[in-house]
Structure 1
Amino acid sequence: MFNFFKKKQNNTYMLGAVAKGKAVELKEVNDPTFNSGMLGQGVAIVPSEGKIYAPADGEIAMVFETLHAVSMTADNGVEILVHVGLDTVELKGEGFEAHVQAGDKVKKGDLMLSVDLDAVRAAGYDIVTPILVCNTDEYAAVEGLAGKDVVPGEDVVKIQMKN
Structure 2
Amino acid sequence: MFKSLFKKVNQSIILNAPLEGTFVLLEEVPDQVFSEKMMGDGVAILPQNNRLVSPIDGEVVDVFPTKHAISLRSNEGAELLIHMGLETVNLKGEGFEINVKNGDKISKGTQLGIFDIEKIKKLGYEVITPIILLNGNHYEISHRIQQGEAVNHSDLIMELRKKG
TM-score scaled by structure 2?
Answer: 0.90
CA distance in 1, matches of 2:22, 2:51: 14
Structure-2 residue corresponding to 1:18: 18
Structure-2 residue corresponding to 1:159: 160
Q: Structure 2: 5+ residue runs without aligned partners? A: 1-8
Structure-1 residue corresponding to 2:94: 94
Q: Structure 1: 5+ residue runs without aligned partners? A: 1-8
Structure-2 residue corresponding to 1:79: 79
Q: Deviations over 1:8-52 (max 9, x none)?
A: x45322111101100110000001111111111111000001111
- 1:90 maps to amino acid: N
Secondary structure, in 3 states, of the residue corresponding to 1:136? coil
Secondary structure, in 3 states, of the residue corresponding to 2:109? coil
Contact 1:21 1:48 in 2 (8 A): yes
Matched, 1:110 2:110: yes
Structure 1 pair 32–109 and aligned structure 2 pair: CA distance change class (3 A): same
CA distance in 1, matches of 2:99, 2:131: 18
Structure-1 residue corresponding to 2:50: 50
CA distance in 2, matches of 1:85, 1:122: 13
CA distance in 1, matches of 2:52, 2:146: 18
Secondary structure, in 3 states, of the residue corresponding to 1:137? coil
Structure 1 pair 91–140 and aligned structure 2 pair: CA distance change class (3 A): closer
- 2:33 maps to amino acid: T
Contact 1:57 1:75 in 2 (8 A): yes
Amino-acid identity (%): 37
- 1:159 maps to amino acid: L
TM-score scaled by structure 1?
Answer: 0.90
Contact 1:66 1:89 in 2 (8 A): yes
The count of corresponding residues between Structure 1 and Structure 2 is 158
CA distance in 1, matches of 2:142, 2:62: 22
Secondary structure, in 3 states, of the residue corresponding to 2:118? helix
Output the aligned Cα RMSD. 1.9
